[in-house]
Structure formats: structure tokens, C-alpha cells
Amino acid sequence: MIERRSTEIIFHSVLLVKESIDLVNIDLGLRLPQEFALLSLHVAAQSIGVSARPKDETMKKMRSQAWYGREGRDGFLYRSWMKNQGWPHDLFEGRPVIGICNTWSELTPCNAHFRELAEFVKRGVWEAGGFPLEFPVMSLGETQLRPTAMLFRNLASMDVEESIRGNPIDGVVLLMGCDKTTPSLLMGAASCDLPTIGLSGGPMLSGKFQGHDLGSGTGLWQMTDLVRTGGMKVEEFFEAESCMHRSKGHCMTMGTASTMASMVEALGMSLPGNAAIPAVDARRNTLAQMTGRRIVQMVRDDLCMSQILTREAFENAICANAAIGGSTNAVIHLLAIAGRVGVPLCLDDFDRLGSSLPCLVDIQPSGKHLMEDFFYAGGLPVVLRELADAGVLKAEALTVNGQPIGKNVADAPCWNREVIRTFKEPFKANAGIAVLRGNLAPAGAVIKPSAASPRLLQHRGRAVVFESIEECHARINDENLDIDENCVMVLKNCGPRGYPGMAEVGNMLLPPKILRMGVNDMVRISDARMSGTAYGTVVLHACPEAAAGGPLALVQSGDIVTLDVPKRLVQLDVDDNTLAARRANWTPPPLPDRGWLRLYVEHVQQADKGADLDFLVGGSGSQVARDSH
């Protein structure tokens, strides 16, 4: 009698819960997942042949059901080994499986808090009725990884792509922060084209040293020059190490990490506000939780990356990069991402769309403020609203929250006009990336006018050539170096093939004897990149690079070089016959012996194409035809 009564209680409890299912489904964003709440009921109901789990009408649409929805041996194999983690059976019955693609690593200090951030994403996924499963991918620590993190961006993208495609995943949350982790994750995920949403880790709090703000990278370059000229004690320099970086997060200047977080938001690949919330602010965790909720609905709506990453989205990103005074590295990364989704984008688009736009944000390295100030002033939504009000933003471009970007930012308030200026009264005019051409860079080179010295934007000078960064380091401090403030410093063999990996060495140190004259900038030209935190009249990404036989390889010390940014010209004043004779004596560098370096050098494209590997351009979708056993 007792046993029969218990069965009746369970059965009626199940019926009551099933009647409440519609209520639960009405507001998935505010409640715990129904299956989590019903776990004990489900186990009891199974014993009497009753299912406590509601029927999920989307079950047959879920990609993960090709793994978990199977019967027989294969279904057993896919589910049973997963159950060793304690997952109950009903989690495999049609819930959207959300992969949390995590670049956490203690060797990537900017991303070292991502384990905690992932837990907040999981909260949101559970609340919305999804099944979150976290997986690691190669993490690229910009400040730790040698010879350069850029060498491994494409390798990491392959890791991301194949991890997504090969696993039972319906939608993806990309956790990214340090410079190359953002483009590598976007590139890899784009080649699969599942519902995907980005979440950046957030910038650090402002550095503080001797009563002043100290910006990541930017402050380091400044203090390095002070030490080299006797303007700062070595003891003070070392003391600043712990003052510059004092919280979790990525660089708090508008370097590459903050630039790419802004690009994620401008592309529509994140929820509004993603770019600027500090890593240690509780609102970053709230955003993570809301991101987890949103990806579940994106899976149900089948809202894929290709619907977000349109030509209009990339144009918005280019314009936003100009308006924030963003890194030149955004050029090479956006080109590579566009290549993965098949959106036509070229180097000239950055000049045509962005070069005439004003910089609205007074932030280092182009200005004085830091990302914490940018957030308190209103963040990227304010910038995007200014662009929309000026008719620049493609306001109808779709974003991951299902709304057009113009609607997302229509009411964005600005709380500090000292940090974020208006479009009509900007911080700097005509500040977007400029694309240069000429016989020194026939396929193009880039310069960031907002970080350059206006007096040097039109300049003619004698070349001082360094064949490698090692030669530059060995000679730059030599008081007998034949160089003056009017010379043009030229660095070779630091491009995609030459370094290899295209390291951030383009902002060469100036000779101490020049710094002591009070000169803090000179024209510098190379096939390298530079840190987004750096500054100066630095011409970068010269294409073709020296190691590929570009004209840069033929420059010799004493040649005259002309830079004319208004005319978009970078020219070597040497006649064609002389150049032809030099080319006849030029020999390409040897290929690496083996491994990733060999594969990379043989297949990497030039900077004007995004420096992706030629065989990675495009995508292969998410389909996997065969089982593993």
C-alpha cells in the first residue's frame, strides 16, 4: 500500500511539473533550467516508466543529436563515456549543446581569469535550457610567446575550427582577450559557421604609478626611452612593473586586445557593451551570464555567423576602428576573418572607408585616457551612436542579439565628453588608417596617422637600413651610428615569411643620441607589425615583404626615401636599372627545416591578404560525414 502511494505521489508530481512547463518556457532567461530542477523527479519517474522531461520540438534540428540521439552501439558510445562526469541521461535528449571555447592559460596573463568567466557563461546556458560543455584551445600569450604570437594565430584557428566541427556542439561561445586569441577564434569558428557569440575578458584597471595613470605597453615604451637617456632611474623602472598591471584583464590602452574587443562588438558578434567593461567589474560576469543565455536562443533560431559577418558588418568595424584610434593590427585580422566567411574585403577599403573619419576617443596611445575611463564614459555604444547619427554606420547590420546595430546603440548616453568627443567636434580629424603605395610597397603598406607626428607625415630622408631586428638591436645604441633625426629607419625581413610570423618590431627604438636632442619620433618603415599600444610615424606591413622578394629587400643605406601620407605615397628614389641590378644579386632566405614553421612559411599569404594560410581561406561548414568507430 505504501509502495503504491509513493508511486502515485511521484506520478502526480510529474503531472504538475509538466503543467508548469509552458510557464518555465515563457521566461527562460530568468529561471533555472527545468531539467536541473527536475533531476530527482526524473530519476524517480524513470523507475515507473514516466518521463519527467518535456518533449523538445527542436530536438531533431540539433546538430548534437547526430551523436546523442542515436540508438544502438554508436549512441551508447557517444553518451556512456560522457556520463562518467555525472551527467544525467536527459541532458542528451535534445538540449542545445553549447561549446564554451576557452583560451584560459596561466601563460596568457590577459586570459588567466577565464575559468571564472566560463562559469558565469555556464550559468546563463543552464538558465536558458542548454547543456554547456567547456573545451580548451591553443592560447596565445602576446607577452610570453616567442618568437611572436602572430606566428601561431592561424594554427590556433585550425585548433578552433576542428574542435568545433568534430564535436557534438550546436552553438559556441568564444572566450577571447589577449591580442591573437580574438581573431584566431573568430577565424576558426567562421569556417564552421555555427551559431556563435563572442565574449571578451575585459581590460585591466588603469595602471597607477607615482600619482599618474600608466598605460599598458604605451607607458613601457615611454619609460624605456627615459631610462635610455637618463631621465628615469632603473629602480623606478622596475618598481613600475607591479604598478602598470594590477588586476585581471588585457591591456587597458587602445592596443590590439582592446581594439579587437571593440571590433567584435562593432561586427555585431557580441552583446552590446562587450568592449570596455573592466575584467574585474561585476558587470563583466553579468555580461558573461547573459551571453550564455543568448547563445541558446541563437541555436534555436539558427542564427549563424555568416548572417552576422556581412560586408556591412566589416564596414562598420573599419569605421569604428578609425573612430576609436584603433590598432593597425585590426587591418590584418579583419582581412583574415573576412576571408574565412567569403566577404570581399581589401586593403583599400580601410583607406576609402576609414581614413577620412575622425578619432572620437581620447585614449592612449593616441591620447591620454585609458579603457576604464572609456567604459565610464559610455564605451563603444556611444562611439557607434555618433557614427550612426553622422550617417556613417550601417545601422541595419544584424547583431547576435537579433537586433540591428543601430537600434542597439540608438539611446547610448555619453557621460564624459572629455573622453568620447562628438563627430562634429572630434579628438582628431582624418585619423583612420591610411594605406600607402609606391615602388617601396606596390601591394600596400599602412600607417596610423592618429599616433604619428604631424610634422613627419610628409618627409624625405636618407635611409638607414637594418637587415634584421637583431642587427637593429646591436647597432642602435652605437654613438657612432651614421644617423640623424632626418633619416628614415628601414627594417627588413620581419614580415610573415621573414621573421617568420610578422612580429611587433616595427616601432624600432630610436638611437639614444637622437633622444637626447629632444627628438622622440622618426620615420620608420618595415614589413613588420607594431603593438597597438605603440605610437610614432611608423609605416608597417610593407607588401610584398623583403623575404618574398619585395622592393624592401633592395633598399640600401644612403638611398633616399619619400613619405607623403596625404598623397598615400611611400617611394624609394632609386632608378629602375639600379634596382634591377640589386635584385639580380638578391637571394631568398632558406626555408625552415620542418614542422609548423615550414608549413607556415610555405603557405602564409602576404599582409594585404590578412596573412592567413592559403589553404585555410574560406570554410568547410560544420558537417562531419563519418563516425569515429
The predicted-structure confidence for 466-475, as pLDDT tens digits, reads as follows 999 999 999 9
Residue with cell 527536475: 38
Question: Which string of DSSP letters, residue by residue, matches 98-139?
Answer: EEEEE---TTSGGGTTHHHHHHHHHHHHHHTT-EEEEEE---
- Tell how strand 444-447 and strand 458-466 pair up: unpaired
Residue 115 lies in a domain: yes
Q: For CA atoms 554, 555, 556, 559, give the dihedral sign.
A: positive
pLDDT band at 30 (very low <50, low <70, confident <90, very high): very low
Q: Within this chain, do residues 190 and 281 fall inside the same structural domain, yes or no?
A: yes
Total domains in the fold of the chain? 5
Supply 127's cell numbers: 538558465
**Is the confidence at residue 109, as pLDDT, over 50?**
yes
Question: Which string of DSSP letters, residue by residue, matches 571-596?
Answer: EE---HHHHHHHHHT--PPPPPSSHH
Q: What is the pLDDT of residues 190-221, one digit of tens each?
A: 999 999 999 999 999 999 999 999 999 999 99
Give the pLDDT of residue 625.
81
Q: For residue 97, how many C-alpha atoms fall within 13 Å in the half-sphere facing its CB?
A: 27
Q: What is the pLDDT of residues 355-387, one digit of tens each?
A: 999 999 999 999 999 999 999 999 999 999 999
Give the pLDDT of residue 34.
41
pLDDT band at 61 (very low <50, low <70, confident <90, very high): confident
Contact of 530 with 218, CB cutoff 8 Å: no
Which secondary-structure segment (H or E) carries 223?
A: helix 218-228
Q: Within this chain, do residues 51 and 65 fall inside the same structural domain, yes or no?
A: no
Give the pLDDT of residue 628.
87
Q: Which of 441, 420, 388 is nearest to 607 (CA)?
A: 441
Give the pLDDT of residue 41.
41
Q: Within this chain, do residues 233 and 277 fall inside the same structural domain, yes or no?
A: no
Rounded to whole angstroms, the Cα distance separating 104 from 118 reads 9
Q: Within this chain, do residues 50 and 197 fall inside the same structural domain, yes or no?
A: no
Q: Within this chain, do residues 65 and 214 fall inside the same structural domain, yes or no?
A: no
Supply 369's cell numbers: 585616457
CA distances from 601 to 74, 141, 611 (A): 41, 21, 11
Q: What is the pLDDT of residues 562-597, one digit of tens each?
A: 999 999 999 999 999 999 999 999 999 999 999 999
pLDDT band at 431 (very low <50, low <70, confident <90, very high): confident
Query: 42-46, 104-108, 122-126, 498-502 — which is least confidently predicted?
Result: 42-46
User: Which residue among 92, 113, 147 closes a domain?
Assistant: 92
Give the pLDDT of residue 629.
87
Residue 617 lies in a domain: no
Rounded to whole angstroms, the Cα distance separating 160 from 305 reads 14
**Is the confidence at residue 25, as pLDDT, over 70?**
no
Rounded to whole angstroms, the Cα distance separating 515 from 570 reads 25
pLDDT band at 518 (very low <50, low <70, confident <90, very high): very high
Q: Which of 35, 11, 156 is nearest to 91 (CA)?
A: 35
Residue 199 lies in a domain: yes
Vertex 533, ends 532 and 535: CA angle to 5°? 90
Q: What is the pLDDT of residues 542-569, one digit of tens each?
A: 999 999 999 999 999 999 999 999 999 9
Q: Within this chain, do residues 286 and 240 fall inside the same structural domain, yes or no?
A: no
Bridge partners, 428 (sequence order): 359
Average confidence (pLDDT) over 73-79: 95
Q: Within this chain, do residues 531 and 478 fall inside the same structural domain, yes or no?
A: yes
Contact of 198 with 185, CB cutoff 8 Å: yes
Rounded to whole angstroms, the Cα distance separating 537 from 452 reads 4
Rounded to whole angstroms, the Cα distance separating 400 from 269 reads 6
Q: For CA atoms 458, 464, 466, 471, give the dihedral sign.
A: negative
Give the pLDDT of residue 57.
52
Tell me if residue 301 falls in helix, strand or coil: helix
Vertex 380, ends 400 and 294: CA angle to 5°? 20
pLDDT band at 17 (very low <50, low <70, confident <90, very high): very low
Contact of 546 with 521, CB cutoff 8 Å: no
Average confidence (pLDDT) over 455-460: 97
> Which one has a higher pLDDT value, 60 or 436?
436
User: Quick one: DSSP state of residue 198?
Assistant: E
Tell me if residue 250 falls in helix, strand or coil: strand
**Is the confidence at residue 44, as pLDDT, over 60?**
no
Contact of 556 with 506, CB cutoff 8 Å: no
Q: Within this chain, do residues 215 and 147 fall inside the same structural domain, yes or no?
A: no
Q: What is the pLDDT of residues 138-178, one digit of tens each?
A: 999 999 999 999 999 999 999 999 999 999 999 999 999 99
Residue 629 lies in a domain: no
Give me the chain's average pLDDT, please.
91
> Which one has a higher pLDDT value, 106 or 33?
106
Q: Which of 363, 335, 344, 539 is nearest to 446 (CA)?
A: 539
CATH of the domain at 526: 3.50.30.80
Q: pTM (2 decimals)? A: 0.90
Residue 619 lies in a domain: no
**Is the confidence at residue 60, as pLDDT, over 60?**
no
Q: Within this chain, do residues 468 and 444 fall inside the same structural domain, yes or no?
A: yes
Residue 616 lies in a domain: no
Domain with 143 in it: 97-205+247-409
Give the pLDDT of residue 38.
39
pLDDT band at 29 (very low <50, low <70, confident <90, very high): very low
Residue 417 lies in a domain: no
Q: Within this chain, do residues 514 and 455 fall inside the same structural domain, yes or no?
A: yes
Q: Within this chain, do residues 475 and 553 fall inside the same structural domain, yes or no?
A: yes
Residue 427 lies in a domain: no
Supply 55's cell numbers: 518533449
Q: Which of 59, 97, 60, 61 is nearest to 78 (CA)?
A: 97
**Is the confidence at residue 49, as pLDDT, over 90?**
no
Supply 81's cell numbers: 563515456
Q: Within this chain, do residues 543 and 458 fall inside the same structural domain, yes or no?
A: yes
Rounded to whole angstroms, the Cα distance separating 274 from 284 reads 8
